[in-house]
């Protein structure tokens, strides 16, 4: 577990929130881009578990 300072914790929290909110914002603000979302499950060896990968295909 990394040792985080208060400033580091706030930065990490904001970065995590931005990565979750940006895809939703881009589809809401630019609906004309369209495309199809493809969700794929992949095995991540470093995690030792399955992970979901979402792609936008035009």
Question: pTM score > 0.85 for this model?
Answer: no
Residue 18, pLDDT score = 77
The count of structural domains within the chain is 1
26 pLDDT tier (thresholds 50, 70, 90): low
28 pLDDT tier (thresholds 50, 70, 90): low
Classify 5 as helix, strand or coil: coil
Using CA atoms, how far apart are residues 13 and 7, in angstroms rounded to an integer? Answer: 10
Res. 3: pLDDT tops 80 = no
Structure token pair of residue 28: 């809401």
Classify 46 as helix, strand or coil: coil
Domain residue limits at 23: 4-55
Residue 9, pLDDT score = 82
Res. 33: pLDDT tops 70 = no
């Amino acid at each position: 577990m990394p040792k985080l300072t208060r400033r580091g914790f706030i930065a990490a929290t904001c970065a995590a929130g931005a990565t979750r909110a940006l895809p939703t914002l881009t589809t809401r603000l630019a609906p004309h881009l369209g495309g199809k979302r493809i969700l794929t499950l992949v095995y991540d060896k470093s995690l030792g578990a399955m992970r979901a990968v979402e792609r936008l295909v035009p």
